[in-house]
């Protein structure tokens, strides 16, 4: 790809960065809005933990079904164009959740929301990679930080909405619509993504050899991140006894911590090796999860979520960097396989937590997260570039 081909004349690196950051923030914010109101949906539809887990599995299923389709659409029409289309549709999908009158329509709306969320995840990362190559400087970590920032801000609005007794319909309309319009405007730049209409291979592949361990690192972190997104609010209310307006703060503090740590990520990995950073990160996340299990009070739970955010934040960027520099696989194939593990964990983790909670308890589910974080520490040597 010619470095000057996709960008219009006069586009600055800063403006391009702002555009991609806005798309990541939009994707995260709409997800954060949904995550902050899960207890309200659980209560209004009188869902058990197992039923909520099943609905979240539908959300995951929609995203998994969308992964290959989104890749094909990006190949045929360009990642930038498809990303902007998904961004426009996603707010409608969020509103459909709030307007669902019964569990059946909520299930259908969740499948659609998951499909648009997963599809946009694929295409915005593809567009981000194009901009990163054109700019000739590393930017991916900062884009993921903007996703976390958007998710945290979206979740934080839940605190205000619940405090004001605003229903999800009002919350999503009053906050979601103008926020989406602003971020869409910031992201709506002219960009000619390269097309590959002859593409016929799989979009995501299963990693092989050493990359399996790298994929497991991404899986451990993403399952934890997905679980906090969808279950932290319920965990604070049901186990910690927090008032509902406190519940939204769990994901908010977790996401804020992720933002700060991801913005500092490049500096951290210049000081310590990737494997040491991953080992410390895994132990930190495990300690945070253990705190939430042993001391189930709202202040200690929020402290645990902060530590989990610190621990999970760098694992995705470290795993993707290792995959891109694998000596035995092409960067594209290696990254696709690692992403399959990573995004699969983020989407399948929440329903798994629900099923474990139904069979045992939510505290046992969060103890499982501690075990997965310890797995990250144990497998950290997989990030050595010379293995």
350 and 219 assigned to the same domain = yes
| Domain assignment of residue 197, yes or no | no
Q: In the listed set 192, 221, 249, which residue is the last one of a domain according to the structure?
A: 192
| Domain assignment of residue 246, yes or no | yes
| Domain assignment of residue 201, yes or no | no
Write down the pLDDT at residue 289. 95
187 and 227 assigned to the same domain = no
236 and 178 assigned to the same domain = no
For residues 64 and 346, give the distance between their C-alpha atoms in angstroms, rounded to a whole number. Answer: 11
56 and 91 assigned to the same domain = yes
| Domain assignment of residue 108, yes or no | yes
Tell me which residue range forms the domain holding 21.
11-192
Q: In the listed set 144, 161, 192, which residue is the last one of a domain according to the structure?
A: 192
User: Model pTM?
Assistant: 0.75
362 and 222 assigned to the same domain = yes
153 and 300 assigned to the same domain = no
Residues 6+ apart with CB under 8 A from 90: 26, 27, 30, 113, 116, 117, 120, 180
226 and 371 assigned to the same domain = yes
106 and 160 assigned to the same domain = yes
Write down the pLDDT at residue 331. 47
Number of domains in the chain: 2
| Domain assignment of residue 116, yes or no | yes
174 and 298 assigned to the same domain = no
Residues 6+ apart with CB under 8 A from 376: 217, 220, 221, 278, 281, 282, 285, 311, 315
| Domain assignment of residue 2, yes or no | no
Write down the pLDDT at residue 4. 43
85 and 138 assigned to the same domain = yes
Write down the pLDDT at residue 112. 95
Region class of 136: left (phi > 0), else alpha (psi between -120 and 50), else beta:
left
For residues 26 and 24, give the distance between their C-alpha atoms in angstroms, rounded to a whole number. Answer: 5
- Count CB-CB contacts under 10 A for residue 123: 28
Contact yes or no for 381/214 (Cβ under 8 A): no
Write down the pLDDT at residue 330. 53
Contact yes or no for 254/221 (Cβ under 8 A): no
126 and 81 assigned to the same domain = yes
153 and 213 assigned to the same domain = no
Which residues of the chain fall below pLDDT 50? 1-4, 331-332, 387
| Domain assignment of residue 356, yes or no | yes
Helices (H), the chain: 13-36, 38-44, 49-77, 79-99, 103-135, 140-163, 168-171, 177-187, 210-238, 244-263, 265-271, 274-294, 298-312, 315-324, 331-359, 362-378
- The CATH number of the domain holding residue 106 is 1.20.1250.20
For residues 236 and 172, give the distance between their C-alpha atoms in angstroms, rounded to a whole number. Answer: 22
| Domain assignment of residue 105, yes or no | yes
């Amino acid at each position: 790809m010619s470095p000057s081909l996709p960008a219009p004349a006069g586009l600055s690196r800063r403006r391009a960065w702002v555009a991609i950051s806005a798309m990541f923030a939009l994707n995260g914010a709409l997800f954060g809005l949904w995550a902050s109101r899960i207890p309200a949906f659980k209560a209004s539809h009188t869902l058990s933990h197992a039923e909520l887990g099943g609905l979240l599995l539908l959300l995951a299923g929609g995203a998994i079904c969308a992964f290959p389709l989104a890749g094909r659409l990006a190949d045929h029409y360009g990642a930038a164009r498809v990303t902007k289309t998904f961004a426009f549709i996603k707010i409608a999908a969020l509103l459909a959740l709030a307007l669902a009158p019964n569990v059946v329509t909520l299930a259908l709306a969740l499948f659609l929301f998951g499909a648009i969320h997963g599809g946009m995840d694929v295409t915005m990362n593809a567009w981000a990679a194009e901009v990163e190559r054109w700019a000739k400087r590393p930017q991916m970590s900062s884009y993921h930080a903007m996703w976390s920032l958007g998710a945290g801000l979206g979740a934080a609005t839940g605190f205000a909405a619940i405090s004001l007794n605003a229903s999800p319909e009002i919350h999503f309309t009053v906050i979601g619509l103008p926020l989406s319009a602003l971020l869409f405007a910031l992201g709506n730049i002219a960009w000619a993504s390269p097309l590959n209409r002859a593409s016929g291979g799989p979009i995501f592949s299963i990693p092989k050899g050493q990359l399996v361990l790298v994929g497991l690192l991404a899986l451990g972190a993403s399952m934890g991140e997905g679980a906090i997104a969808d279950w932290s609010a319920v965990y604070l209310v049901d186990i910690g006894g927090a008032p509902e307006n406190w519940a939204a703060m769990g994901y908010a503090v977790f996401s804020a911590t992720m933002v700060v740590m991801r913005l500092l990520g490049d500096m951290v990995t210049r000081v310590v090796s990737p494997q040491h950073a991953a080992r410390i990160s895994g132990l930190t996340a495990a300690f945070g999860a253990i705190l939430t299990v042993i001391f189930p009070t709202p202040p200690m739970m929020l402290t645990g979520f902060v530590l989990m955010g610190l621990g999970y934040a760098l694992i995705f960027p470290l795993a993707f960097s290792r995959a891109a520099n694998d000596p035995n696989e092409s960067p594209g194939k290696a990254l696709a396989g690692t992403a399959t593990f990573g995004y699969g964990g983020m989407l399948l983790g929440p329903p798994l937590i629900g099923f474990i909670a139904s069979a045992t308890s939510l505290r046992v589910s969060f103890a499982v997260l501690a075990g997965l974080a310890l797995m990250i520490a144990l497998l950290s040597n997989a990030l050595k570039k010379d293995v």
